[in-house]
Amino acid sequence: MSDAMHIVLDETAMSAAGSGNILVSRLIHRAHAEPGWYLYAPACALVEADRARPGTAEHLAALPGITVLDLDLPAVLTIAREATWARAHAQHAAQPAPDRPDGAIVATTMPVRWKGTAVRILDLNP
């Protein structure tokens, strides 16, 4: 296992960032300030977060510690089979990849939505 920490924000975590959630703020700070911490914002989840809280996408995309994940062909093929694009893109981003050999953890404020999926969850509720 790698010592790097890879965390994917789902749309609920992104919306919580704009609401002052201290746990999301700590993740953003770590991703910016500490080596080995990586924070990802899947584009489809970013769209849904911005719909729920306008301005979220522009704000998060401007932060230096967050990498926006584009909708590439493998993600499109995964999303096409799912009901919600935001959740599907976040789940796809959490799967192992060359730059994330151990996969990533999905950070969320609604962990119940992820029950029964094969992803690790970080509950951002205080």
64-122 confidence digits (pLDDT tens): 999 999 988 888 887 878 778 999 999 999 999 998 999 999 999 999 999 999 899 99
Residue 78's nearest CA partner among 57, 66, 99, 94 is 94
Residue 27 has pLDDT above 80, yes or no: yes
| pTM confidence score | 0.93
- Residue-level pLDDT at 126: 83
Region for 115 from its dihedrals, namely left if φ exceeds 0, alpha if ψ lies in -120 to 50, beta otherwise: beta
Give yes or no for a contact between 32 and 70, defined as CB atoms under 8 angstroms apart: no
Rg (CA), the chain: 13
Alpha-carbon distance 24 to 16, whole Å? Answer: 7
